[in-house]
Every structure is written in structure tokens, then in C-alpha cells.
Chains A and B, each alone.
Chain A
Amino acid sequence: MIGKWQRVGMMGAALATSQSTLADYAYNLQIPASQVAQDVFELHNLIMLVCLGIFIVVFGAMFYSLLKHRKSVGHKAAHFHENTTVEVIWTVIPFVILMGMAYPAAKVVIDMKDTTNPDMTIKITGYQWKWGYDYLNDDISFYSMLSTPREQIYGAAEKGEHYLLEVDEPMVVPVGKRVRLLITANDVLHSWWVPALGAKQDAIPGFIRDSWFKADRIGTYRGQCVELCGKDHGFMPIVVEVVSEEDYAAWLAKKKGAAQSAAGDNTKTFEIADLMARGEQVYQANCAACHQADGMGMAGVFPAISGSKVANGPIEDHIALVLNGVPGTAMAAFAGMLSDADVAAVVTYQRNAWNNKMGDLAQPAEIAAARGGAATEAAAPAAQ
């Protein structure tokens, strides 16, 4: 028996020393970058200490008993089997300890729920599988999606420092400002979480929920979607860059300039080669996750586009499908997500890539026209 306990102890000690020699082990919550995250950090430490104390007392008693009150050392069993005083004491004491925990916890709950008096408001929308950000005070909008290359995920390239926690367009906020978040989703449930900022809120389609944070320190903070949202749930990270007031103003000016030049594309007429090149990029960013880079989809889950009836049928129907999606499936309505130029490009690409050789093309003006009439046309299949 003694030998067995020693063996377990040695294994534990070996494990503990091997862990302390490695730098990458983190044992607690991330270093807080906001007051709420700091409060949660301290609350967690407090509760852990209380639990640890109780654990040591209770299991200290148990292991003392396991060592001293064993038959093999000749201990004879006592016969007591109840003691009202003791039982009342060990019901009341935990209750009192819990009240001591409940009070500081309640204060943090109330603080977390107080979203009043924001300095700025950002609407966040979850999509399968990217995040959309709308800066309501500054009238800019953009999407933010994973920028880790597929080669890194599938082992064809070495993984970068921020593997899976990097995006093409981070959310940027000024330091020290109260940022109110309005969070919703477009398709299924998602959940927006940045651990260091202490903000987590489920994104629910059809409902808007709010949360807030005030970042104390300049820096880059990373998080992930934390509500299962389908195939690429693990591949829609969140990056928040907290910058100085001046840097934020510069970033805003740059974003607004980019938005204007993008709007200009919607009135142009393109050559097919330009549409194909742009369409491939749009396809890779928005469609390939389900329909695959080769347009073959995934049998039984996501339909193929290569050789499909839609991509080889009337172009009006094809445009309507992309704009309106298919309700009740993973096929989202892209009307709100892609510009006229992008829709024109991606439809053109899908009709002329892989086994599809339609030879026709869509121009941004046709998409703008389809947007006007599409709502009523699309209502018909949706109602079936």
C-alpha cells in the first residue's frame, strides 16, 4: 500500500517539475486589459483560494483517516452514525462562505451589465464564418476574417506566431474610451469574446444584445468565436487593436477613403478578365469554405457549383440566389455583405470557372437593378 502512494507522489512531483521548466504554460486567466476583466480576475482568484482552503481541510481529514483508520494498522471501527450538531454546523458554514462570495460577485455582475453612457458604439454581426463591424458613430463598416493561410492549417507551411488568431481587418478602438457593443448574428448563433477585455456576448440572429468594454492599455487583443456555429467555428477569430486617440483618427480617415474608392467600382463596367480575377478573390473569401476551392462542395452538406443548374442556368436566377440566399440552410443572403461589383465578379467567376463554361458575365449595374426587384422574387421560393 505504502509503495503505491509513493509511486503516485513521485509521478505528481515529476509532472510538476517538468511543467515549471516550460515557459508556455499559463495557469490563470489572461492578463486583464480592462477594469471588468481585472474584477473577474480577482473574483476568480478569491474563489479559487476559498475552494483550495476547503479542499485541504476536508481531504486532509479524509487522508488522515485513510492512513490512521485502516484495518491493516489494527483500527477498530467506531459505531457513531449521526450527530445533529456537527451536521447543522457543516450546513451553516458553507452557506455563510457562499454569502461572502455572492456579494463581490453581484457587484461585478451589475457593473458588467451597465452599458450606459458610451463614448462610441460598434455593431458587431456574426456570420458563418466571419465578423462584421459597423461603427455607428463614424459610418464605416467592414468584415473581418481569418487571415491564416490554408497551407498553415493543413501542414504545408510553417505556422506563424498568431496562427488562427489573426484577421485581415482588425477592429480598432481608441484607448480609455467606453465602447458599447451591439451584438447580433446573421445566420446561426455565434459568440464574440475577447478574454483580456472581459467582454463576451452571444450573437443571436434576430436579436440585438449589448455589452461594453473600456480598454486600459494600448495593444492587440485576440479572441475567438465561442459558440459552435458550424464547420468553421474554430476559424473565425477576433482581433481588437487598441490604439491612441491620434492613431484612431488616422485609421478612421484611411478607412473612409478606402470606402469611397470601393463605392466607385459599383458604377464601372468591367472586362471579363477583371471580373474573373476579382471574382476568384471574392469566391475564396466568401464561398470556398463551403463550396470548396474546386467548386465541388461537400456531398450531402454543401452543394457543388461546378456543373450545377444554377451556375449553368439563367443569370438572373443565379444573381438572385447569391443576393438572397436559401432560407433554412447555410447559404447566406449576400445582398448585405458584398458590394455590387463583388457580386458581379463572383457570379461571373462561378459561371466561367471549373466545368462551368457559360461565357456570360454580370456587371455591377445589373446587380444594382436586381437588388431592387430581388426582394419580391426571392420571397417566392422562401415561402414554399
Chain B
Amino acid sequence: MSDAAHAHDDHSHGHPTGIMRWLTTTNHKDIGTMYLWFALIMLFSAGTMALLIRAELFQPGMQLTNPDFFNQLTTMHGLIMIFGAIMPAFSGFANWQVPLMLGAPDMAFPRMNNWAFWMLPVAGLMLMASFLLPGGAVAGGWTMYPPLFIQGGISYDLTILAVHIMGLSSIMGSINIATTILNMRAPGLTLMKMPLFCWTWLITAYLLIATMPVLAGAVTMLLTDRNFGTHFFNAAGGGDPVMFQHIFWFFAHPEVYILILPAFGIVSQIIPTFARKPLFGYASMVYATASIAILSFIVWAHHMFTVGMPAAAQLFFMFSTMLIAVPTGVKVFNWVATMWKGSLTFETPMLFAIAFVCLFTIGGFSGLVLAIAPVDIQLHDTYYVVAHFHYVLVSGALFSIFAGIYYWLPKWTGNMYNETLGKWHFWLSVIGMNLVFFPMHFLGLAGMPRRIPDYALQFTEFNQIATVGAFIFGFSQLLFLAVVLKTVKGGEKASSRVWEGAEGLEWTLPSPAPYHTFETAPVVK
């Protein structure tokens, strides 16, 4: 969040100012800042949709929306949160932190970096604008399953195009990050000495490069089925609707780890700092991350246990999915062991990191329950699944993003955030989040399907708790916005180390980090 004042530090001549500065910038800090603001805007947009969904579900009967608009809201909430909020936020962290942590002057491909970012607002606008088209936005679910996805209007084609653009942006971003990590480390900074955040992003980048083209292929087939008379997914023409699900989940299961591995990285930076103790089991953390990434390619069909696959396939995907619990468990044990016999303090980043470990594990356990094929068949497409992936994505990915922002914001702006407000934000978020999503486990067990705008009377009470929680959680994010804006504008000055226990190259720089850093590479011993 460096502001325009830093432009003065820029020694090159004739640099544009104002809007052109941001349009043409190739500076990793500027681009990181833009990624993060874009993600925040998208978070609030898709969050507003979530509140509309929860308001409709406050009581049985149709009140605020109609069934078609409700489906548009659930679909767009999912697409925008994943592709517009969480992924760009992690790219923002990578842009800011990877060069600072590696002692590199910038990203490997600065101009491609600019392009990768500026594609995103275009795609985001296209998605949001589809609400205004005849027939409204896409209503077929973020999973885009045909044949339903073939039925829709013009906004479906627009969404396919937007997904293509966001995919391109991700591929370019990840090539950039992987190249930077592999080629631009400071002398002496070997791979096994890198901060864990860089490791998790390196592995994430490979996952993105491997799977984004698969998504592009799947949506291209949808596009030609819709417009050019092909029958990839139309049984009447010899195609197979289930084939789409195989291709989609071959992308989307690794995507789940794309959304969580950088979160593991952020938390692995924060816990040692506030435990004042090095990360426990660094090497096993790296191996666990790599194992999770590799396993993520052979578990996709656990999203499809109800399509009617042979028993042998169900058993294979059940066993491989259960295996993922092993490296994930190693990570959780390592974080707890890092805290063990430390000298702990509980500033806001640490609070979010601890909540992450605890609540992400709840999401992990419900994931294990869902890995058991017979139980999954009962719970598939119910609110239990909604509870599961929100524990992983809200108290997992999003909480790690909050933790990371509080942790590095003083380094980026030179100002300390307001600790009291930060703690208020934490407690309201953690209480709100659990109120929304914990009751959903019970709703799913009791048999409430997901993606329905109206429900039977026995589901009323838990839905009301969830809606109250959603509004607490949603409105507490305005507090987060206020804290960030206040910190960008001013506040108590931060030291270069910022946190007593912080280790790593970024903390050797002054706060705020100058516009250009590590023009001469530091030497790591």
C-alpha cells in the first residue's frame, strides 16, 4: 500500500503520475497493492451477494429474490470469491513478499506482471456486468455443469470468456512467480533456506500452470457445445455430460490447494514470529506441501461419488483422498509444535493464525468425513459440503489473508495498524464465521440440499442462526476496511523489524519498504 509519495523515490525520469502510473507500472510493490485492492473490492461485491443469499434464507418461503435470481447470486458469489477475491489476494501477497523475501529487486518479468494484473479488472467487470444482460447473470452454479450450462443466455458466453481471461492472468502470474523464485534468490539463499511462503507459492504456481489450461479446455468445449454445434457433453450427439465433471474436477481439485497452500505459507511465517521460535519441521513442511500437491491430481472423482462410478473407482478415490489427511496432519502438528514451549504473544496476525490452525482443522475433519464414500453419498450436495468448504476457505484462506495483511501492512505502509480495532475485527469475524457455518453441518446432516432458495420448515432455526452470523461477519469486514485505510493514512511509525520475533530479509529493510529494494543483492550466510 505504498502511496503516491513514493514516486519521488523513483530515480528514473519521465515516469507517469496519477492514473497512468498505476496503468503502466512494472513495480512489484505497486502491482501487489493493486492485486490486494482488487481482491478487497471483489470480496465486498461477492460478500454482498452472500448477504442477499442469507437474507433470503432467513425464513422459509420466497421473500427477497426469485429462484432464478437466487441461483445467479450463488453462482456469482462462488465464481467471484474464488477467481476475484482469494486468488488475486494471494497473487498480491506473492508480488509484495516474494521479491522482498528472496532479496530480489523485482519480479522476473515485470511487464508481464503488469499485464497479468490488468486483465483481472476486465474479467471482473465482465462478470459483474452480466447481471445487467437479458436473462441476468450465470445461474448454473460455479461448477458450470452441462447440460444446464448449455441452456443459459448470453451471460453464459460472457462468463466463459471471463474465466478464460482470469485463467490467462493466473498462468502468467504463476510463470512469473515460479521464475522469480527459481532464478532470483539472493546469493546463498538455497531452496531449502527459503521462507516457507515462497515454497508454498512455488508449488502453487506449478499447480496453476498444470491445471488452468485444463479449465480453459473444459470451458472452451462448453462454448463450442453452446454455439458451434459440437456435442462434447450432449449424450444425444454421442457426448457425455459426466466427462465435463471429470475434466472440471481434474482442474478444480488442485484449485482447492491453489486456494490453501499460500495460506499455509503465510501462517508458517506468522506463527514462528509470535512464538519467538523457529518453524518446527521446516523440511517436513516442504515435503508435506509437495505431497499434498501431487496427491491433489489423483483424488478429483471424490467430488463425483454420486455420478454412479464402479465400486473399484469409488474405493480408489476414497483411499487416495484419505491419504491427503496424512501430510495435512503433519502440517497442523508442526504448527502446534512451533507454538509449544515458545514465548507467545497474541497480536492480531497471531490471533488470525491460531484461528486458522484450529478452524481449518475443523474443515479438514469434515473433509475426512466426506472422503468416506458411503458417508459422502449421503452428504453430497447438502449444506454439510457448504459448511466444509467454507471452513476451509473462510476460516482457512480468508483468515490467512487477514493475518498476512496485519502482519505485513506495517512493512508496506510504515505505519502500525490500530491493535484494539484489529482485535475487535478478529473476535467479531471469528464469532460471526462460526455462527454462519457451524450450524450448516447440522443442516446438511438433516438433509437440506445446497443451492435451494427455499426450504422445509424443520431447517428454519439453524438457517436463522446462520443468517444472523452472516450479517455479523459481513459487517465486521467494514471494520477491516477502516483499519486498513487508517493505517495507510498514518499511525504510529513502524520500526524496520516491526515484530520482535520476525526473521527474514524483508525485515532488514526500512518501513515502509522503499520503492526500489535490493538493487544490490544481499548475501545470505
Find chain B residues with CB under 8 A from A77 CB: 275-277, 341-343
Q: Is B297 an interface residue (CB 8 A)?
A: no
Q: A102-B318, A161-B457 are in contact. Are A71 and B276 (CB under 8 A)?
A: yes
Q: Is A309 an interface residue (CB 8 A)?
A: no
Q: Is B314 an interface residue (CB 8 A)?
A: yes
Find chain B residues with CB under 8 A from A202 CB: 306-308
Per a CB cutoff under 8 Å, which of A55, A78, A162, A210 touches B308? A210
Using A51-B368, A78-B341, A193-B449 as known contacts, list a sample of 16 further A-B pairs with CB atoms less than 8 Å apart, ordered by residue number in A.
Answer: A40-B374, A65-B344, A71-B276, A71-B343, A75-B344, A81-B277, A82-B280, A91-B326, A112-B374, A152-B61, A154-B61, A164-B456, A189-B145, A195-B447, A204-B307, A328-B150
Per a CB cutoff under 8 Å, which of B134, B319, B341, B374 touches A108? B374
CB of A224 within 8 A of CB of B449, answer: yes
Number of interface residues of B (CB under 8 A): 102
CB of A61 within 8 A of CB of B148, answer: no
Find chain A residues with CB under 8 A from B375 CB: 40, 43-44, 47, 105
Encoded as 1 (CB less than 8 Å from any A CB) or 0, chain B from 233 to 248 comes to 0111000111000000
Q: A4-B427, A299-B134 are in contact. Are A98 and B323 (CB under 8 A)?
A: yes
Q: Which of B12-20, B82-90, B458-466 contacts A (4 or more CB under 8 A)?
A: B458-466
Q: Is B279 an interface residue (CB 8 A)?
A: yes
Q: Is A228 an interface residue (CB 8 A)?
A: yes
Question: Which chain A residues have a beta carbon within 8 Å of chain B's beta carbons?
Answer: 1, 4, 8, 11, 22, 24-30, 36-37, 39-40, 43-44, 47-48, 51, 54-55, 58-59, 61-62, 65-66, 69-72, 75-83, 86-87, 90-91, 94-95, 98, 101-102, 105-106, 108-110, 112-113, 152-155, 159, 161-165, 183, 187-189, 191, 193, 195, 198, 200-202, 204-207, 209-211, 222-235, 298-301, 327-330
Q: Is B369 an interface residue (CB 8 A)?
A: yes
Q: Which of B30-38, B163-171, B328-336, B473-481 contacts A (4 or more CB under 8 A)?
A: B328-336
Of all chain A residues, which has the CB nearest B272? A81
Of all chain A residues, which has the CB nearest B423? A4
Q: Is B105 an interface residue (CB 8 A)?
A: no
Of all chain A residues, which has the CB nearest B308? A209
CB of B280 within 8 A of CB of A81, answer: yes
Q: A98-B322, A228-B451, A233-B451 are in contact. Are A69 and B311 (CB under 8 A)?
A: no
CB of B442 within 8 A of CB of A26, answer: yes
Find chain A residues with CB under 8 A from B226 CB: 328
CB proximity of B487 to chain A, nearest CB, Å: 23
Q: Is B508 an interface residue (CB 8 A)?
A: no
Encoded as 1 (CB less than 8 Å from any A CB) or 0, chain B from 371 to 394 comes to 011110110111000000000000
Of all chain A residues, which has the CB nearest B365? A51
Q: Would you list 23 pairs from A and B whose C-beta atoms are within 8 A, ordered by A residue?
A: A1-B346, A24-B460, A27-B442, A43-B375, A44-B369, A62-B339, A72-B345, A79-B277, A94-B326, A102-B318, A102-B319, A105-B373, A105-B374, A155-B62, A159-B457, A191-B306, A200-B377, A207-B241, A225-B449, A226-B382, A300-B134, A301-B68, A329-B151
Of all chain B residues, which has the CB nearest A301? B135
CB proximity of B131 to chain A, nearest CB, Å: 12
Distance of A355 Cα from B333 Cα, bound (Å) = 71
Find chain A residues with CB under 8 A from B319 CB: 102
| Most A Cβ at <10 Å: residue of B146, B319, B452 | B452
Find chain B residues with CB under 8 A from A225 CB: 449
Find chain A residues with CB under 8 A from B374 CB: 36, 39-40, 43, 105, 108-109, 112
Q: Is B206 an interface residue (CB 8 A)?
A: no
CB proximity of B238 to chain A, nearest CB, Å: 9
Find chain A residues with CB under 8 A from B450 CB: 226
Distance of A72 Cα from B362 Cα, bound (Å) = 29
Q: A69-B339, A155-B61 are in contact. Are A101 and B452 (CB under 8 A)?
A: no
Distance of A285 Cα from B102 Cα, bound (Å) = 66
Q: Which of B109-117, B182-190, B281-289, B403-411 contacts A (4 or more CB under 8 A)?
A: B281-289
Q: Which of B47-55, B353-361, B413-421 contacts A (4 or more CB under 8 A)?
A: B353-361
Per a CB cutoff under 8 Å, which of A26, A58, A86, A207 touches B445? A26
Of all chain B residues, which has the CB nearest A229? B148
Find chain B residues with CB under 8 A from A232 CB: 67
Distance of A91 Cα from B334 Cα, bound (Å) = 11
Per a CB cutoff under 8 Å, which of A1, A75, A200, A223 touches B343? A75
CB of A234 within 8 A of CB of B135, answer: no
Q: A206-B241, A227-B381, A300-B133 are in contact. Are A234 and B315 (CB under 8 A)?
A: no
Residues in B422-447 with C-beta less than 8 Å from chain A: 427, 431, 442, 445-447
Per a CB cutoff under 8 Å, which of A58, A98, A163 touches B333? A58
CB of B60 within 8 A of CB of A300, answer: no
| Most A Cβ at <10 Å: residue of B236, B284, B445 | B445
Of all chain B residues, which has the CB nearest A95? B326
Q: Is B455 an interface residue (CB 8 A)?
A: yes
Of all chain B residues, which has the CB nearest A78? B341
CB of A207 within 8 A of CB of B242, answer: yes
Find chain B residues with CB under 8 A from A162 CB: 456
Encoded as 1 (CB less than 8 Å from any A CB) or 0, chain B from 97 to 136 comes to 0000000000000000000000000000000000001111
Q: Is B514 an interface residue (CB 8 A)?
A: no
CB proximity of B512 to chain A, nearest CB, Å: 27
Q: Is B325 an interface residue (CB 8 A)?
A: yes
Find chain B residues with CB under 8 A from A235 CB: 67, 454
Across the A-B interface, give the 10 residue pairs with the lowest CB-CB distance, nearest first. Answer: A206-B235, A300-B134, A209-B308, A300-B135, A234-B452, A77-B343, A226-B381, A108-B374, A113-B311, A78-B341
Find chain A residues with CB under 8 A from B146 CB: 188
Find chain A residues with CB under 8 A from B240 CB: 206-207
Q: Is B153 an interface residue (CB 8 A)?
A: yes
CB of A234 within 8 A of CB of B325, answer: no
